[in-house]
Amino acid sequence: MSANNEAAGDGRAAVKALIRRMEREAPELALFLVYDRPSRAGERPGLERAFFTQRCVSDEQLRQTVEAFRSIGAYVELFEGEREFIGAAASGRLGSLQRRMKVVYNGIEGSIAHDAFMPGRKALVPAVADSYGFLCANSNAYACALGRHKFHYLSLLSSLGLPTPRTWHYRKETGWAGGHSPTEGLKVIAKSTYESWSVGVTDESIFLADSTSTNRVAAIAERIGQSVTVQEFVAGQEVCVPVLATPELMGTPPVVAVLAKAPLDPEAVMTIDDNLMSGGVTYQALTDQDLVGRLHSLALRAFIALELDAFARIDFRVDESGNPFIFDVGVSPGLSRGSSAFASMSHWGFTHEEFLRAILAASLPASGIRTPSGVSPELHLR
Rounded Cα gap, residues 57 and 338, in angstroms: 12
CB neighbour class for 211 (10 Å; exposed up to 12, middle 13-18, buried from 19): exposed
- E-assigned strand segments in 223-351: 228-232, 237-245, 249-251, 255-259, 281-285, 311-318, 324-330
pLDDT for position 371: 37
What is the end-to-end Cα distance of the chain in Å, rounded? 17
Splitting the chain (382 residues) into consecutive groups of 10 residues, what average pLDDT does each group show?
Answer: 70 95 96 96 92 94 97 98 97 96 94 93 96 95 97 98 98 97 97 91 92 96 95 98 94 97 94 93 96 98 97 97 97 95 97 98 62 36 33
- Contact between 310 and 242 under an 8 Å Cβ cutoff? The reply is no
- Contact between 182 and 213 under an 8 Å Cβ cutoff? The reply is yes
Give the pairing type, strands 249-251 and 237-245. Answer: antiparallel
Q: Which residue type occupies 196?
A: S
Rounded Cα gap, residues 113 and 221, in angstroms: 10
What residues pair up with 242 in beta bridges, in sequence order? 313
Q: Which residue type occupies 22?
A: M
Secondary structure (H, E, C), 51-83: CHHHHCCCHHHHHHHHHHHHCCCCEEEEEECHH
Task: For residue 105, report the phi and psi dihedrals to the nearest 5 degrees.
Answer: -105, 120
Residue 247: is the preceding peptide bond cis (ω within 30°)? Answer: yes
What residues pair up with 251 in beta bridges, in sequence order? 243
Q: Cite the DSSP H helix spans in the chain.
A: 3-25, 52-55, 59-70, 82-90, 124-131, 141-146, 150-159, 213-224, 272-276, 289-305, 340-346, 352-361
Chain segment 26-63, per-residue pLDDT in tens: 999 999 999 999 999 999 999 998 999 999 999 999 99
